[in-house]
Amino acid sequence: MSSQRSRFGPAACRFFLCSLTAFCLCGCGEYRSVWREQRLPSGRSVKVTALNLVWGVEHDERDTGKDSFSMEYVTADPNADATTHEQEANEVFELIRPVSELWGFKSAEVAGFPTVNRKGRYDFYLFRREADGKWSFTVESRKVFATD
């Protein structure tokens, strides 16, 4: 009986210590968004908060023609007019355009948020590559949550 206790005692102690360590590393403190400051050719700086490779899947059907890159950033001036935001989005898109073309993608997504907290309304830009290789975009205002 004592040999069984000594065998499970250290294992239980290790489990407790590992659980406590994981809790302290992951469960404590408030969450802060991770971002990277990026200077644009215009001199403005934006905070890039996400860069993703997006798979083209619709209704569980894989469509490689819809693969793309998606980038989220925090705009340099949330109170600027629509024209300024569009110019900024074009500059942000230029960060992923070369790799999008290298991979042969026909579209890319750029989302401009007003703050690092993903709440409220944001501008969503869908860039499409035409047959002649030129890129154009459409923009729409979206919101993160239905209650925003």
Rounded (5°) CA angle 43-49-54? 115
17 — pLDDT class (breaks 50, 70, 90): confident
Q: Which CATH class is domain 36-143?
A: alpha beta
pLDDT reading at 33 higher than 80: no
Residue 133: both structure tokens together = 């290789």
Q: How many CB atoms lie within 10 A of CB 124?
A: 18
Quote the mean pLDDT of the chain: 87
Q: Encode pLDDT of 95-106 as tens digits.
A: 999 999 999 999
Secondary structure, 3-state, the chain: CHHHHHHHHHHHHHHHHHHHHHHHHHCCCCCCCCCEEEECCCCCEEEEEEEEEECCEECCEECHHHCEEEEEEECCCCCCCHHHHHHHHHHHHHHHHHHHHHCCCCEEEEEEECCCCCCCEEEEEEEEECCCCCEEEEEEEEECCCCC
CA distance 13 to 20: 11
The pTM for the full model equals 0.76
- For residue 142, the cross-strand partners are 122
CA distance 122 to 101: 26
The residues spanned by each domain of the chain are 1-30, 36-143
| pLDDT at residue number 123 | 97
| pLDDT at residue number 139 | 97
Q: Encode pLDDT of 106-147 as tens digits.
A: 999 999 999 998 888 999 999 999 999 999 999 999 999 877
Residue 9: both structure tokens together = 């005692």
pLDDT reading at 4 higher than 60: no
Residues 140, 124 contacting (CB under 8 angstroms) = yes
| pLDDT at residue number 134 | 96
36 — pLDDT class (breaks 50, 70, 90): very high
